[in-house]
Structure 1
Amino acid sequence: MSGTALALALVEPAAAQDADGDEVIVVTGAGLDATPAAPAYDTQVIDRDQLVAVPSGRIEDALSAVAGFQQFRRSDSRSANASAQGATLRALGGNATSRALVLLDGVPMSDPFFGYIPFSAIAPERLAQIRVTRGGGSGPFGAGALAGTIELESAGIDALDGFAGQALVNDRGETELSGSAGASLGSGFVVASGRWDRGKGFFTTPEADRAPLSARAAFDGWSAQIRGVAPLSQDIELQVRGLAYRDERTLRFDGADSSIEGQDASLRLVGRGAWEFDAIGYVQARNFTNIVVSSTRFVPVLDQRNTPATGLGGKFEIRPPVGGAHVLRLGVDYRRADGELFETAISAFSGAVTARRNAGGTNTDLGVFAEDDWTLGALVLTAGARLDRWTIRDGFYRENDGAGAPVLATTYGDRAGWDASFRGGLLFRASDRVALRAAAYSGLRLPTLNELYRPFVVFPVVTQANAALENERLEGFELGVDVTPAPGVGLSLTAFDNRVKNAVANVTLDTNLRQRRNIDAVHARGIEASISATLGEVSFDASAAWTDAEAQGSGFAAALDGNRPSQTPRFVAGATLAWRPAENWLLSTTLRHVGAQFEDDLETDLLPAATTLDAFVQVPLTDTIALVLRGENLTDETIVTRNQGGSIDFGVPRTVWAGVEVGL
């Protein structure tokens, strides 16, 4: 959905009238409406019909419908190490940390320690829509919106009333079970949902390179969410959400196991009266474990046994009644991330413990923001500013030898500062069919605790942490046009220029040795295009992005100057054709292409381009039961997800799913 159709995604009003004319309170479970100038920025909406028809059933593949979205690696959330599942936009990647802000019902979802997104915990069938805004932002939690914002909105009782569930199995015997139950309670509602995925996985290692202890990418993960919405008055509603999940994976070798788990809770008050407001508070408890196995002796050499992290935060936004021509937003938000790493190094020859390490710290960000939209007939102007007070403190690194004797104990000096960021734009509706837009913006991202304090190994490469990392800073602008040539048809075209100064990258220092460093910049210039069309029973959605991205480095980073950032393709595109011949029928197919990219900053290890074909079929068998067929990578394209000096991993091979969907 293009920016011109953004208004269609806005929620219902908070009150309606029944047949007798009496006022009835209607809760939506959503946040405040998008402002009039929201379409001034490069925005694309993924609606519920698209979300529930993703051939893989995974949220990261739903997001791939937005050209320019990428994770650090091409692996999906069943066959990736979770710590590599950062989300970014506009080819501003280069490391595993998210440069895009991902919100679920207004709450940041990035892991407090690593910055990755727990994609396996977010089930597409729980969502009403996803709104993706590419380009930096200065509104709520804007300190994380360096490359853009991905807003996930949970579905309400209108979509999840009663019971619904799915049970599927694929050609490798892997299973996917999901279900939800929703009920109205007075004027409010409650929805409980759960999902369980498990399977033996596929071999990520090429057949010629497999050893006796090479293992499939097995996975076993579950997530459960409960959400309640209730009116406190005619204009105010209370939203409560709890999310718990755990995901266990095996990668490459027997015993190379990793896990993530989390428990999130949030409380939200939304007021839709004359003084509109949105108040959110949340708490997150997360953990990560990982065992590294030697690729030559096939025994554990590193046990990252515990990485507890806590996220705390909230926001308050108010919109004073300043007149019909203006929408004014004023607010404050706060985020705190605490975490530490406990790991044990083990000799590959004797099995003896050689070192025990403990590292961690605390990051905080307090931001205040203001933004005003001013409507002047066909022209909408918007301008916003944000001021952040950030701290990086309590950082430490300790290492003992196998006998427990101290080897190294370092504490890092506390740092703090103020940073301002801005954004502004205009939207001009030249006619009923054409809208022109322009925007400029700046943004901020603090380095994560992972980047600051945690070294890691992806054999044979060691990547060191760097407690001296500085904040990243984005400056960018864009020009775009949205065209609606006919009812049900929308086209969008955007040209952009974004530069991330002090970009954090994994910089090669020596053979098999890298360190996280601030390089001069990552500069990305490109074009994004999308089209959506619905013609009777047939719909077509497509998007493409071409980006000229380059790292800019001097001094220690001179060798990578002019190179494309690691893991960054030049061209990505995707298209979905769907046919709905009757109610509850759906046949769709998705073609997606990802261009060639490099594993490393020196452009020595190539990941070839990959083109995949997916399909989704839903056929009703009765009024309440439907047959579901799904196909991933139906042409069995070889997808190289990692290439480090010839040590290669593959992505998902051809996979066919079959099952039933029940709705009562």
Structure 2
Amino acid sequence: MRNLTLWYSVAGAALMAHAQAHAEDSRAPENENGILVAASRAPSIRLADYTGSALVITAEQLEQRQTRDIADVLRDVPGVAVAGVAGQTQIRLRGSEANHVLVLVDGIEVSDPFAGEFDIGTLQAEVGARVEVLRGPQSALYGPDAIGGVIVYESASGRSVPGFAARIEGGTQGTINGALRYGAAGDTWDAALSAVAVSTDGQPNARGGVRDIGRDSYTLSGKGNIEVADGLTLRAAARFIRTEGQFNDQDFNAANPTFGFVIDSPGSRFVNDAAYALIGVRAETLEGRWTHDLSAQVADITRDTFGAFGPSNSSEGNRIKASYVTAFRLADAHNLTFATDYEQEGFRNTTPGGFAFTGRREIEQVGFVGEYRYSGEVFDLSAALRHDINDRFADATTFRFGAGYRVTDTTRLRAAAGSGVKNPGFFELFGFVDGRFIGNDALRPEKSTGWEVGIDQDIGDAARLSVTWFDSELEGEIFTAFPPPAFIATPGNRATTSQQRGIEVSLAARIGPQWSLDAAYSYLDAEEDDREEVRRPEHIASMALTWSAPDDAASATLVVRHNGAALDDAFTDPSFVPVRVQLNDYTLVNLNARARLAEGISAFARVENLLGKEYEQVFSFVSPGRSAVVGVEARF
């Protein structure tokens, strides 16, 4: 893998130079678990006032679980299914498709416009970051791409996590990871810069294969705010992610016994670059009761794959988006918000060889949002309505309504209903690559409606149990057909209705002064055309048990994650019509520990897949086995 010696030498020197420095408390504020960034288009609201289903993974929890890939910790969220292979990790909320989930990073929409979804495997955890997950349709707030929900990643600001932090770790499979961060703040400004590198030689991912599938990922990011006048604040955020790695192809030689299976493919590799930026200005008037926020953001993503004989598949996608949000607090409990979004997405298939159209296509969209929220001591109410005008598809109107009622001081009931829409993507409309997939420019958007009811129950002062039942329907789901005699794949809209329903349970508890427990369970029944959907286990569960020594001198966390059996499509028939196969259930055990060596200096170690479980998240792609790392970090 790429040589990182110089990078780590600099970080190591910084660690040694400040080995006795005083460490600032870099954990996020105590109330971060009670704030939701994305639950409203207005300023953040309290989790206790939210009428839907949401979960926040705090900076402290990310640290306790020694999270490096955000995709891993999302497995601890009820209703979330994760499935990944080299070069693409997908997330599904409540049985939705991967491209039905909106991902925001520091307020920026980060999905690849060409592919229609975000590779969550490229998102690395930074010091002080937090994650929130809103489950259920959010199109009334954010438009297309949010049928299943919204995942928000917020890096720490220079004010919330000031000072310097560095981390270095190394371990099995040639793993060398590291991170650097610096945050600072003044009376009217704050700024933060961060760099993260992840490098591993990897392990084989083909059944019986011997070729290691490695990866290098680099992230540079920055964000800041400055108050230029009383009540007037400018902000900016930028991020660059580069991911390089190997992958294996499937065997499409019908004469081979491994036809349709993943096989060792020397020379196959990928390079993905993603650049994002946002600028915004916020003004407060009427003593902060009336706010105005204007922002503009850009995203530019390129994906290139290479085979043994050179470039094999490439794409470009970019997005320009502008938003204006005005919010007015009518009284302490009443809030009214209006928003306007303009978005232009561009796509280009740059695959060489002349097998596909390589011209540029664009889609423009304008959305108008109206939102009302009431937050009382006993009763909470929310309502949102959005109308989208699209230059290619029919206009769409989506809604979301919710209510919450505090039956007692320890019991709260909530219910919500909403609708969502998802526009077809570039390759679905226009096809790609070598003629095995023909686009369908007559596709229409998918439409979803659903509802949920839930209860949040406090158990004493130390635990909270949440249970939610949800039910939704998806009309016009886009599927792939293989009509004879050529059996060439082409997409279409289902005439039948797809169903997703299930139960989500989460528990957060403090077990004495030194122990904490977070647990989650999901039951899902997802069907498309009366058949079980692929890569959506009926049962998913997780548990994270953490012990912390007095004065935080040491800690240890045990994480257990279970994925039930699921179905997948295997292309093992020469017609390329998929054959349904079962992916076996699996349970992964991770164990980590940390000890303070000196003020501001800690050593840590972890073992992932402690039991060495062999499992597949996608048919015939073998997932990583046991791995271990040790490292040291400094904060001051």
Range of TM-score over shorter length: 0.7 to 0.9
Q: Deviation per CA, 1:352-388: give whole Å up to 9, x if none.
A: xx84652552122211111112345511222111100
Q: Aligned to 2:61, what secondary structure does the other structure show? A: helix
The reply to whether residue 580 of structure 1 matches residue 548 of structure 2 is: yes
1:501 aligns with 2:507: no
| Aligned partner of residue 289 in structure 2, secondary structure | coil
Quick check: 2:106–2:154 contact (8 Å CA) kept in 1?
yes
Give the aligned partner of residue 24 of structure 1. none
Higher mean C-alpha deviation, range 157-166 or range 434-443: 157-166
Distance 2:181 2:376 in 1: 45
Question: Does structure 1 residue 659 correspond to structure 2 residue 631?
Answer: yes
Aligned counterpart for 1:263 among listed residues 250, 275, 282? 275
Map of 1:452 onto structure 2: 429
- What residue in structure 2 maps to residue 492 of structure 1? 466
Partner of 1:399: none
What secondary structure does 2:535 align onto? Answer: coil
- Match of 2:531, SS state, is coil
Partner of 1:350: none
CA distance in 2: counterparts of 1:134 and 1:321, whole angstroms:
26
Alignment of 1:185-200 (within 5 A): 185-200=186-201
Aligned 1:36-185 pairs, distance under 5 A: 39-55=50-66, 57-71=68-82, 74-75=83-84, 79-82=85-88, 85-93=89-97, 97-185=98-186
Quick one: percent identity of the two aligned structures?
A: 23
Alpha-carbon distance, 1:158 to partner:
4.3
C-alpha change, 1:637 and 1:515, in structure 2 (3 Å) is farther
Out of 291, 297, 302, the position equivalent to 1:287 is 302
1:482 matches 2:456: yes
Residues 566 and 66 of structure 1, relative CA distance in 2, 3 Å threshold = same
8 Å contact kept, 2:356–2:433: no
| Paired positions, count | 573
Aligned in 2, Cα 1:309/1:257: closer, same or farther, shift over 3 Å? same
1:481–1:48 CA distance, 2 compared to 1 (3 A): same
Aligned residue for 1:231? 227
Match of residue 358 from structure 2: 358
SS at the partner of 2:111? coil
Question: Contact conserved, 1:385 with 1:421, CA < 8 A, in 2?
Answer: yes
Structure 1 equivalent of residue 491 of structure 2 = 516
Task: Name the SS for the 1:592 alignment partner.
Answer: strand
Q: Which residue of 1 aligns with 2:252?
A: none
TM-align CA RMSD: 2.5
Q: Quote the residue 1:369 is aligned against.
A: 369
Task: Please list, as runs of the form range in 1=range in 2, the aligned pairs for 1:411-426 lying within 5 A after superposition.
Answer: 415-426=392-403
Taking the aligned partners of 2:49 and 2:144, their CA distance within structure 1 comes to 19
Question: Is the contact made by 2:535 and 2:617 (CA closer than 8 Å) also made in structure 1?
Answer: no
1:132-185 Cα deviation digits (max 9, x unpaired): 111102444232211111122221224532211111112112111111011224
Q: 1:539 deviation in Å? A: 0.7
- Partner Cα distance (2:305, 2:33) in 1: 44
Cα gap change, 1:121 to 1:234, in 2 (>3 Å): farther
Q: What's the offset of the Cα at 1:546? A: 0.3
- Give CA deviations for 1:298-323 in whole Å, capped at 9, x if unaligned: x549711x422211102221112322
Give a deviation string over 1:21-44, Cα, whole Å, max 9, x none.
xxxxxxxxx982226885210111
Matched, 1:595 2:564: yes
Please give the residue correspondences for 1:340-419 in structure 2 after superposition, counting only pairs within 5 Å: 340-345=348-353, 355=355, 357-358=357-358, 360-375=360-375, 377-391=377-391, 415-419=392-396
Letter in 2 for 1:654: R
Letter in 2 for 1:443: G
Unpaired stretches in structure 1, ≥5 consecutive residues: 12-29, 294-298, 346-353, 392-414, 553-561
C-alpha separation in 1, matches of 2:119 and 2:47: 32
Query: What is the CA–CA distance in structure 1 between the aligned matches of 2:375 and 2:405, rounded to whole Å?
Result: 10
CA distance, structure 2, for counterparts of residue 483 and residue 337 of structure 1: 43
Cα distance change, pair 380–516 in 1 and its aligned pair in 2 (3 A): same
Distance 1:356 1:112, change over 3 A: closer
Query: What SS is found at the alignment partner of 2:384?
Result: strand
**What is the rounded CA distance, in whole Å, between the counterparts of 1:6 and 1:660 in structure 2?**
26
Amino acid in structure 1 at the alignment position of 2:339:
G
Q: Contact 1:597–1:606 (CA<8 Å) still a contact in 2?
A: yes
TM-score scaled by length of structure 2:
0.85
User: Which whole-Å CA distance do the structure 1 matches of 2:49 and 2:310 have between them?
Assistant: 50
In 1, distance between residues paired with 2:535 and 2:270?
A: 22
**Inter-CA distance 521–527: structure 2 relative to 1 (3 Å threshold):** same
| Match of residue 303 from structure 1 | 312
Q: Which runs of 5+ in 2 are unaligned?
A: 1-30, 249-264, 571-577
Secondary structure of the corresponding residue to residue 600 of structure 1 = strand
Give, in angstroms, the shift of residue 123 of structure 1. Answer: 2.6
Query: Retained in 1: the 8 A contact 2:113–2:317?
Result: yes
Distance 2:310 2:580 in 1: 27
- Give the TM-score normalised by structure 1: 0.81
1:208-223 matches, cutoff 5 A: 210=209, 215-223=211-219
Cα distance in 2, alignment partners of residues 541 and 334 from structure 1 = 40
- Residues of 2 paired with 1:322 and 1:31: CA distance? 13
